[in-house]
A and B are shown apart, each in its own frame.
Chain A
Amino acid sequence: MWAFINKLRSPKWFYAISARLQPWFWAAALILIVIGSVWGLAFAPADYQQGNSFRIIYVHVPAAFLAQSIFVSMAIAGVVFMVWKIKIADMAAAMMAPLGAAMTFIALFSGAVWGVPTWGTWWMWDARLTSMLILLFLYLGVIALRGAFTSRDSASRAASVLAMVGVINIPIIKYSVDWWYTLHQPASFTITGRAAMPLEMWAPLLIMVLGFYCFFIALTLMRTRSEILRRESNKRWVRDLAGGER
């Protein structure tokens, strides 16, 4: 554990190891997303209530999962950065935030589109959609705060603190919004909240979720490598690298 943490201190080590890991995650993401898409779009049976519009679930749920997971990852990276002063963690956190916001946007957009055939309206103050909207605001706050500082170290630490505060608040927000929703709209039809889903329906969903996670890891590795080039451009080994990767 300590050996690993100490290795993480070295951007050079991370740059090398991520170069080896990255292709595997890209390949896994591509394969899983292609299989999941074909299965979910063409082979999974139509829902008996919603017909084919339920196929939106295969993008909505993975994006929503990822949106929440990325915020948690960002907060964990923030803790790692604040406790052990590991710069890689902060670089990864900085690169995760825009993807998290994009995933939140996808979840919101697909949810809104799904709402048209299901509820007959683009927007409903559904508990899940409302929580997602608040999550989007939290992401935008973290991104804006990081951008507002001129000193990179302050920006990193401020964004880490805000991510930690946010991650403590996310469950509270989620439960209070759920409670608020049941109070104002009792026993309403939610789009994803049903218990029994046949295997042919949830198997592609699981594959899509895994594919999205692999995509997230691959992209974060790739962009963290770019961020290393940006921040460590004065280091000797980065210079040598520029000569090598012509």
Chain B
Amino acid sequence: MTGTEGSVSKEVPVVFHGEPGGGLAVAFWATLKRDLVLLLRRRSEVMNPLVFFAIVITLFPIGISPDPQLLTAIAPGLLWVAALLAALLSLDSLFRADYDDGSLEQLLLTPQPLAVLALAKVAVHWLLTGLPLALMAPLLGVMLALPAGSYGVLAVSLALGSASLSLIGAIGAALTVGLSRGGVLLSLLVLPLYIPVLIFGAGAVQAAIFGDGVMAHLAILGALLALALILAPLAIAASLRISING
């Protein structure tokens, strides 16, 4: 009996010998690469949030007033809210395709911790949604007569903040991925949790406009990101398990 057990445990490393060392890092990068490739093949899905962002920003001057002074006053909040909604728009598809074709289930069965793999998926979401939104925001800022000197802060605050948004939003996406009409529910769950990020993100841009120090805001955004980075993957993993098994 012990002999067979010994032989089995001896065989296991042989079976996995083909895989390079550091299985967790490999799994992380493999998931990251796979999702990146998959999403880059469906370019329209990547473009949609950006187009949405641009359209929403166009609607506001039309709906309110083209007066540059007024637009300057509301630009930071407007840009942040629009970017937040654009990021939210793409959240529903974060796990949807993998859920539908069953690869999410395979992800659950891997020996690597699900939280790390989920983190890779969220990283892809940020790379292809949050980061482009942050890079695009200064351009739209010009259209909203954003004062010079706040463009860099706008991009940095959005880049930092949208990472938190992706992490928090992924919890909601994981919770609703098993539901057929999860889209609206997802925004109901996630938007209240976005408020702190919105406050400090828009606050940073506002502070830059007034010429105040922006480091405090950015530091708090970083702190929120650090907290989300630690806690959100665990919640995402737990939520995915619920959605798959339920």
Contacts and interface: CB of A to CB of B under 8 A. Distances in A.
Direct contact of A and B (CB under 8 A): yes
Interface residues of B, number: 28
B9 to A, nearest CB: 32
B219 interface: no
10 contacts: A134-B192, A144-B188, A148-B181, A148-B182, A162-B189, A165-B171, A165-B235, A172-B196, A173-B192, A176-B195
Q: Is the interface of A mostly helix, strand, loop or mixed?
A: helix
Contact of A154 (B178, B185, B192): B178
- 8 A-B pairs closest in CB distance: A154-B246, A176-B196, A137-B192, A141-B189, A157-B242, A176-B199, A180-B199, A151-B246
Contacts, number: 80
Given A138-B192, A154-B246, 10 more contacts: A137-B192, A138-B193, A140-B188, A141-B185, A148-B179, A158-B243, A161-B171, A166-B192, A169-B196, A179-B199
B175 interface: yes
A179 B188 CA distance: 24
Interface string B160-197: 00000000000100011011011001001101110110
A138 B193 CA distance: 8
Contacts of B195: 134, 173, 176-177
A157 B174 CA distance: 13
Contacts of B200: 176
B235 A161 contact: yes
Interface in A126-176: 134, 137-138, 140-141, 144-145, 148-149, 151, 153-155, 157-158, 161-162, 164-166, 168-169, 172-173, 176
A55 B203 CA distance: 36
B192 A158 contact: no
Given A137-B188, A148-B176, A180-B203, A154 B196 contact: no
A242 to B, nearest CB: 30
Contacts of B191: 137
Contacts of A158: 175, 239, 242-243, 246
Q: Is the interface of B mostly helix, strand, loop or mixed?
A: helix
Contact of A166 (B193, B199, B227): B193
Interface in B224-246: 224, 227, 231, 235, 238-239, 242-243, 245-246
Contacts of A151: 246
Interface residues of A, number: 30
Interface of B: 171, 175-176, 178-179, 181-182, 185, 188-189, 191-193, 195-196, 199-200, 203, 224, 227, 231, 235, 238-239, 242-243, 245-246
Contacts of B242: 154, 157-158, 161
A149 B199 contact: no
Contact of A161 (B192, B196, B203, B238): B238
A29 to B, nearest CB: 30
Contacts of A137: 188, 191-192
